[in-house]
Amino acid sequence: MAQEQAIPSIGPAAPEFALPHRPGVLRNVLKFIRRKPLGALGFFFVLFMIAMTLGTPKAEFGVPELPHSPLGFKLGQPWLAPYGEEQNFKNANGRLNTDAAPSTKHWLGTDGSGRDNWTRVVWGARRSMFIGLWALALATAIGTVIGVISGYFRGWFDTAVQRLLDALQSFPPLLTLILILSITPFTSQPSLLVVAFALGFVGIPQVQRIVRGVVLSTREQQYVEAARVIGATDTRTMSFYILPNIMASVIVVFSTGLGVVILAEAALAFIVPQFVPQEGASWGLDLGRAQREGVDTHTWPVIAYAGAIALAVLGFNLAGDALRDVLDPRLRVG
Amino acid sequence: MQQYIIRRMLLNGVVLLLVATMVFAALRVDSNQVVNRFAAGCFHQGEDTQQCKDVAKNLLGLDESIPKQYVDFMKNTLTLDFGKTFSEKKPVLHEITSRAAPSIELGLLQIVVALLVGVPVGVISAIRQDKWIDYILRFVAIFFLGIPVFIIAVFVILLTTRYAGGTGLDQWLGPGSDWKDIWEDPVKNLQRVTGPALVGGLGTGAVLMRFLRSQMLEVMRQDYVRTAWAKGLRERVVIVRHALKNAMIPVLTVIGLLLGAVISGNVILETQYNIPGIGFFVTSAALQGDFPVIQGIVLVVAVMLVFINLLVDIAYGWLDPRIRYS
């Protein structure tokens, strides 16, 4: 840098471009924090949760498998987890150190089996997060396709689809989930991917309703009309003119839906533990186990897992609201 | 109006038919699965697995051909015959109705709490817009909106059973052991439902409050409210008679929509607080693989929701005559 500046310029001075002042990333972030402090708090929780899921990847490739191989390669121990997932601790007497209060060794205490709560929370974050991502990927993909087609063609197809999905949507989601999971084939317990797909299926109506609403207004835009005039086919209009222009809404739906799905998974594991895999750390499962065994003895695990679920869901809600206000004010309700 | 109701009833009939067909199809996708899962439970109790399977198949009517099954299923559903439970071989409908009272009580109490809290808070927050009280109320509402109800319930149970033992608070807010119906022992019954009703009601109330606030803000800017102020009416009269009355109409539809969420939430709250209602029934049936129960509850809830929504729509038109049903 210093050398470049030292070279004297020869000839007429380069014309100075009067670029409008473009604020840097940092300044944008600061502005966002000042304007939407609660949204920024939400983003902090979300980023922290993402950080909890990260671990050193291992060179083991294969079919995606939740929770530790969500993208086809295996993730190692999370960087933020000080101990292993199932590591038990003993106290000075040689017995299991159960339900200990927080200390420097165990930041959030230990659970009923002498495992470190903070470690379990970090390991469980990966499970919640990737179930949420997989479910939402399915829900947004199918929901967007249905929403775009239904909103674009309107007519009898739209009416039929909307009535059907209205019926699905007004239905208590937890009951739908229980119904789906009680007919899905699994021997003793379903794999997490099955749970994720069931959750995603339940989310389709919500996603498609929002997407359809946006498509209904987008399809009346002049550029869509122009596309039709120059002879673009319906498929082309939908995929190259409408879809790119509703992406902001889709992103917002994705981020708000993530919180809902994470919560639904935790609630499902909490009340019907048999419908999710029993191995590994899971916020909903561990919370349910601790509550059933008695909150008065398992105070610290309850606080740790309930707090983790509460902060994660709160974070996704706040972040989603702020993101919606910034990216797509059209979706604002209430 | 009459025409509208008739048309809505027909449409609802179609919707229910679709739901029933979906439930029918759901089981037939892989019926062996359902039968096997129940048989696994038999195996653990030391009963003959093959016999269990036959019984389950028979109860679900899986021996017949698919079209015959469909006709039978629809006929039975229309006559509210949802078959017999796997576990005790009792009629599903009777098992559901005998557990309905606690659920209905809890749901109604939640709506009452939601209205009692949500309406005043929403009004205050709207008429004191952008004052400190508005900020505090909105922050509390965001808190209740953002944090799931069952987590709040966990914390309430934790605080009352661990830290409030002997103060009486634990009896009113914590999960108790035995259940008494309200006509048997009102005090004991209310002790059991206060906790879940408060927690669930506040969660619903937060949604209500946020919606009512935005409605109030809109109504307060209408001409007739300005006229009411200009006439020199007292603040209370303007707010309650002129503004709130009109702001409540859209809120009514939200209450209708919230019922689905209330039912869903009650599944969790009933399990958490050991209340022997329909929600508790469905989770225990799910644990045992008792498919007829799940199927029956799904159908009953669908019928209930459809008719509640119809009632809400009719009430909506009755309260706001400007709405034309054409």
* Highest mean pLDDT out of A70-74, A104-108, B9-13, B120-124: B120-124
pLDDT above 70 (res A19): no
Q: Which two tokens stand for residue A63?
A: 């079919």
In a domain? residue A201 = yes
* pLDDT at B326 (0 to 100): 47
Counting residues of chain B whose pLDDT is more than 70, the rounded percentage is: 97
**Which is more confidently placed, A97 or B123?**
B123
Rounded to the nearest angstrom, the minimum Cα separation between A56 and chain B is: 32
Q: What is the mean pLDDT of chain B?
A: 84
Q: How confident is the model at residue B56 (pLDDT cuts 50, 70, 90)?
A: confident
Q: Give the closest of B19, B143, B162 to A167, CB-based.
A: B19
Distance (Å, rounded) from C-alpha B88 to C-alpha B98? 15
Distance (Å, rounded) from C-alpha B139 to C-alpha B147? 12
**Minimal-distance CA residue of chain A relative to B274:** A292
Contacts of A171 in chain B (CB under 8 A): 19, 260, 298, 301-302, 305
Distance (Å, rounded) from C-alpha B304 to C-alpha A86? 45
Please, where are the H alpha helices in A154-246? 155-169, 173-183, 192-218, 222-229, 234-236
pLDDT digits (tens, 9 = 90+) for A276-311: 888 888 899 999 988 888 888 888 999 999 999 999
pLDDT digits (tens, 9 = 90+) for B306-321: 888 788 778 777 777 7
Contacts of B210 in chain A (CB under 8 A): 334
**Average pLDDT for B4-33:** 82
Integer CA distances (angstroms), A46 to A81, A280, B53, B212, in order: 17, 22, 47, 29
C-beta atoms of A274 and B287 within 8 A: yes
pLDDT above 50 (res B97): yes
* Highest mean pLDDT out of A57-61, B42-46, B146-150: B146-150
Neighbours of B312 (CB within 10 A): 16
Nearest one of A281, A313, A323 to A46, comparing CA atoms = A313
In a domain? residue A220 = yes
**Average pLDDT for A129-156:** 91
In a domain? residue A300 = yes
Given its phi and psi angles, is residue B85 left (phi above 0), alpha (psi -120 to 50 degrees) or beta? beta
Nearest one of A142, A136, A144 to A211, comparing CA atoms = A144
Long-range pairs, A68-71, Cβ under 8 A, ≥24: A68/A126, A70/A126, A70/A130, A70/A133, A70/A134
Most B-contacting residue of A175, A188, A265, A314 (CB-CB within 10 A), to test interface: A175
In the stretch 134-163 of chain A, residues with CB closer than 8 A to chain B read 163
C-beta atoms of B294 and A182 within 8 A: yes
**Which is more confidently placed, B186 or A212?**
A212
Nearest one of A63, A87, A104, A102 to A191, comparing CA atoms = A63
Q: Which two tokens stand for residue B106?
A: 């809890």
Contacts of A310 in chain B (CB under 8 A): 147-148, 151
C-beta atoms of B162 and A295 within 8 A: yes
* pLDDT at B226 (0 to 100): 92
Distance (Å, rounded) from C-alpha B51 to C-alpha B228? 76
Rounded to the nearest angstrom, the minimum Cα separation between B323 and chain A is: 21
A201-205, A330-334, B230-234, B280-284: range with lowest mean pLDDT: A330-334
Q: What is the mean pLDDT of chain A?
A: 84
Residues B312 and B256: beta-carbon distance below 8 Å: yes
In a domain? residue A302 = yes
Counting residues of chain A whose pLDDT is more than 90, the rounded percentage is: 22
In the stretch 237-266 of chain B, residues with CB closer than 8 A to chain A read 257, 260-261, 263-264
A164-173, A262-271, B150-159: range with lowest mean pLDDT: A164-173
pLDDT above 80 (res B132): yes
pTM: 0.85
* Highest mean pLDDT out of A67-76, A208-217, B39-48, B312-321: A208-217
C-beta atoms of B211 and A170 within 8 A: no
Q: How confident is the model at residue A312 (pLDDT cuts 50, 70, 90)?
A: very high
pLDDT above 60 (res A7): no
**Which is more confidently placed, A142 or A276?**
A142
Rounded to the nearest angstrom, the minimum Cα separation between A118 and chain B is: 18
In the stretch 296-315 of chain A, residues with CB closer than 8 A to chain B read 296, 299, 302-303, 306, 309-310, 313-314
* For residue B175, cis peptide bond before it (omega within 30 degrees of 0): no
pLDDT above 60 (res A4): no
Burial of B22 by CB count in 10 Å (0-12 exposed, 13-18 middle, 19+ buried)?
middle
Q: Give the closest of A179, A184, A334 to B298, CB-based.
A: A179
Q: Does B146 touch chain A (CB under 8 A)?
A: yes
In a domain? residue A52 = no
Q: Which domain holds residue A308?
A: 130-331
Q: Give the closest of B19, B34, B151 to A309, CB-based.
A: B151
In a domain? residue A154 = yes
- Count of the separate structural domains present in chain A: 1
Q: Give the closest of A175, A296, A302 to B301, CB-based.
A: A175
pLDDT digits (tens, 9 = 90+) for A65-84: 777 777 777 788 888 888 88
Distance (Å, rounded) from C-alpha B279 to C-alpha B267? 4
CA angle B100, B104, B107 (to 5 degrees): 140
Identify how many contiguous H helices and E strands chain A contains and give both numbers: 12, 2
Integer CA distances (angstroms), B173 to A171, A317, B190, B276, in order: 29, 27, 10, 17
* CATH for A146: 1.10.3720.10
In a domain? residue A235 = yes
Pairing assessment for the beta strands A73-78 and A55-61 based on DSSP bridges: antiparallel
A73: enclosing H helix or E strand: strand A73-78
In a domain? residue A86 = no
pLDDT digits (tens, 9 = 90+) for A81-138: 888 888 888 887 878 888 888 888 888 888 888 889 999 999 999 889 999 999 999 9
pLDDT above 80 (res A198): yes
* pLDDT at B264 (0 to 100): 76
Q: How confident is the model at residue A38 (pLDDT cuts 50, 70, 90)?
A: confident
Distance (Å, rounded) from C-alpha B295 to C-alpha B289? 11
